[in-house]
Amino acid sequence: MKFFIDTANLDQIREANDLGILDGVTTNPSLMAKEGIKGTDAVLKHYKDICDIVKAPVSAEVISTDFAGMVEEGKKLAAIDPHIVVKIPMIKDGIKAIKWFTDNGIKTNCTLVFSSGQAILAAKAGATYVSPFIGRVDDSNWDGVDLIAQIAQIYSVQGFETQVLAASIRNALHIVRCAEVGADVCTCPLSSILGLLKHPLTDLGLAQFLADAKNMG
């Protein structure tokens, strides 16, 4: 399973990248706004800065909701850097736009996916990634990881090549469970990635080893 970081914060992207296990970045308009990035030039530059750090897939989301607007915006985003993946919302014109980008050799990430039916449509349109939002599914009293498992099973049975990218990850257990049920990618906040490191027995064991090491000749 690939690890993406779900943030537009350059310091956090650098920190995750320095771990040596980062495979890409996802952003969205909320995450960009959180970093105070405003205006087209600043937005495009920020995506370029992210690409320069990770040199791996970086999802950049369109904010148009009509086919022509999404295609125009997506072309500009894709021109920033070869690593850009155009992120498109799961709406009717979005499916048309994904098909257009697929036919024109531009990678896409279909976002705001909450059902297996939506995931089938994204795959049929040739999306490179499909992004089910599992934390938000959990918030609405359904099991987000079950959705990942169902989509992974459908894609496997049907031979779809679209990668299942588990998004809206809220904790380390989400990552472990997504790995278990066959997600191709998990995009996570830095805190959830670092959460995988934690175990009290590791801390206790290391403290003991270091204490005993002082008694070594």
Q: Contact positions toward ligand G3P, by CB under 6 A?
A: 6, 26, 28, 31, 133, 135-136, 167-168, 187
Burial per residue of 130-145, b for 16 or more beta-carbon CB atoms within 10 angstroms, e otherwise: bbbbbbebbeeeeebb
Least separation in angstroms between residue 165's CB and ligand G3P is 8
Residue 165's H or E segment, with its range, is strand 163-166
Tokens of 134: 């599992």
Give CA separation, 196 vs 1, 129, 171, 199, in Å: 14, 24, 9, 8
Residue 90 and residue 118 in contact, taking contact as beta carbons nearer than 8 Å: yes
Write the Ramachandran bin of 33: left for phi over 0, alpha for psi from -120 to 50, otherwise beta: alpha
- Identify which of residues 26 and 118 has a Cβ nearer to ligand G3P in the complex: 26
- Identify which of residues 29 and 67 has a Cβ nearer to ligand G3P in the complex: 29
Least separation in angstroms between residue 189's CB and ligand G3P is 8
Positions marked active-site: 87
Tokens of 44: 């495009």
- Residues 89 and 147: their CA atoms lie apart, in Å, by 18
Tokens of 195: 């959460």
Least separation in angstroms between residue 80's CB and ligand G3P is 20
By beta carbon distance, the residue nearest ligand G3P is: 167
Least separation in angstroms between residue 172's CB and ligand G3P is 14
